[in-house]
Amino acid sequence: MSDLPTRISLREVGPRDGLQNEQPVSTAAKVQLVDALSRTGVRRIEAVSFVSPRAIPQMADADEVWAAIDRDAAITYSALVPNLRGAVRALDAGCLDIEAVVSASNTHNLANVNRSTEESLDGIAQVIALAHERGAACYVTVSTAWGCPYEGDVPVSRVVEVARRAVADGADGLSFGDTTGMATPTRVTALIGETRLALPDVPLNLHFHNTRGTGLANVLAALQLGVADFDASVGGLGGCPYAPGASGNIASEELVHMVEDMGVDTGVDLDALIGVARVAEQIVGRELPSQVLRAGPRTRLTPFVPR
Ligand code: COA
Ligand code: ZN
Shortest-distance ligand to the CA of residue 141: 1
Is 138 in the active site?
Answer: no
Can you tell me which atom of ligand 1 is nearest the CA of 143?
48
- Say how far apart CA 199 and CA 171 lie, in whole Å: 12
Q: Which residues of 107-130 are buried (b: 16+ CB within 10 A; e: fewer)?
A: bbbbbbbebebebbbebbbebbeb
Residue nearest to atom 34 of ligand 1 (CA): 113
Can you tell me which atom of ligand 1 is nearest the CA of 112?
42
Judge whether residue 233 has pLDDT over 70. yes
- Say how far apart CA 257 and CA 228 lie, in whole Å: 15
Dihedral pair phi/psi, residue 292, rounded to 5°? -70, -30
pLDDT tens-place string over residues 155-184: 999 999 999 999 999 999 999 999 999 999
- Reported residue count of the chain is 307
Can you tell me which atom of ligand 1 is nearest the CA of 179?
48
Sign of CA dihedral 49, 50, 56, 59: positive
pTM of the model: 0.96
Cβ–ligand 1 distance for 83 under 6 Å, the answer: yes
Residue nearest to atom 33 of ligand 1 (CA): 113
Residue 45, beta-bridge partner list: 12, 77
pLDDT tens-place string over residues 50-59: 999 999 999 9
For residues 243 and 165, which has the higher predicted lDDT (pLDDT)?
165
Judge whether residue 63 has pLDDT over 80. yes
Residue nearest to atom 17 of ligand 1 (CA): 54
